[in-house]
Amino acid sequence: MKPEPVLFTFHKIREQSEHGNAAAWRALLDFYGPVFFRLLEIHGAIRRQEASPIVKKMLAELTANGFERLRTTSRQSEREFLGDLRARLLEMAPEASTSENSQVPASGAFEPEKVAKLLDGVPLLHKEMLFFKLAGYTENTLERLMRISPRVAEKAFERLAAEYQAARSTEQDRCPWPAAWLAFLKHARSLKTEHCIPAHEIVRIHDGQVSWYEKEPVEKHVSGCLHCLEAWAGLREVGYWRRAADPLSSAEIERLLEVIPVEKPAAKKSFFQRLRS
């Protein structure tokens, strides 16, 4: 007889996974595992079969020392939680990122000042689209991700000439210059200042929950800050792949589960053993 299905929500998963609950971890990997693989495939140009060790490494780090690192991740919302994990995962990726098929952009093309200049003077929507083009997104996926035709940013895309030309002609969602791009993302994340926008405010804006008055100064900051633009685009991205990424098989989930210190029911002490200890 099949066990009763357990309905997991983000909050339940987040809470129970800290206690090493195996069912919660299965649900976490079922819900979010596909997002991890997609992110590595796009930003790191790492194929699914080669991405497993990186995902496992991230999960092992997250759950070490009694789930210490996991406890520091967001409890507020699924996207903030995934935004945290996305940053960590992409920081772990460069070691594994394969250099084959990787286009080497002209030196300095991904220096933050150079990227800031590339994005300068266009509306935030176009900056975000340029960001995703540099990350290797095709226009088809970009349209689903942004829910608007990338043609609106056609003029901005014309900036992708010379050293960024490869971003204009991607045929699959895969970064043409993963090593340089991952280094840029890491650099962008390090540019955080006291004026930077908390993730929950970005999520509220993406969800249309704030008034124009609240939104305007935030969008102005994000427009001029690579750290916040990276977070802004990253939160949109994880929300999209949470719905759109292909599911993992149960065998894949079980293999990932191997690195997580979940409670093993068989190892539980019996009532009498507990009385004696």
In whole angstroms, how close is the CB of 202 to Zn ion at the nearest point?
A: 10
Nearer to Zn ion, 38 or 227 (CB): 227
Cα angle 173, 235, 45; round to 5: 25
Q: What angle do CA 275, 276, 277 make, to 5 degrees?
A: 100
d(CA 267, CA 198): 42
DSSP characters over 262-275:
---GGGSPPHHHHH
Length of the chain as a residue count: 277
Site string for Zn ion, 122-161 (x = CB under 5 A): ----------------------------------------
Given the complex with Zn ion, which of 20 and 224 has the nearer CB atom? 224
- Applying the rule CB under 5 A, the residues between 155 and 214 that interact with Zn ion are 196
Evaluate whether 130 touches 157 at the Cβ level (below 8 Å). Answer: yes
Tokens of 188: 């962008």
Number of residues located near Zn ion, criterion CB under 5 A: 4
Nearer to Zn ion, 66 or 198 (CB): 198
Min CB(77)–Zn ion separation in Å: 19
Query: Per CB under 5 A, which of residues 43..82 are in contact with Zn ion?
Result: none
| Nearest distance, CB of residue 128 and Zn ion, angstroms | 14
The residue among 125 and 196 lying less far from Zn ion, judged by its C-beta, is: 196
Q: Nearest distance from residue 192's CB to Zn ion, in Å?
A: 7
Per the listing, tokens 């507990």 go with 274
User: Among residue numbers 203 through 262, which ones bind Zn ion (CB under 5 A)?
Assistant: 225, 227-228
Place of tokens 């999520």: 203
Instruction: Kindly tell me which of 93 and 188 has the beta carbon lying closer to Zn ion.
Output: 188
170, 138 in Cβ contact below 8 A?
yes
Q: How far apart are the first and last CA of the chain?
A: 35
The token duo for 92 is: 């772990």
Shortest Cβ distance from residue 187 to Zn ion (Å)?
14
Q: Which is nearer to Zn ion, 55 or 218 (CB)?
A: 218
Residue 121's region, left for phi above 0, alpha for psi from -120 to 50, else beta, is left
Least spacing, CB of residue 98 vs Zn ion, in Å: 32
Contacting residues toward Zn ion, per CB under 5 A:
196, 225, 227-228
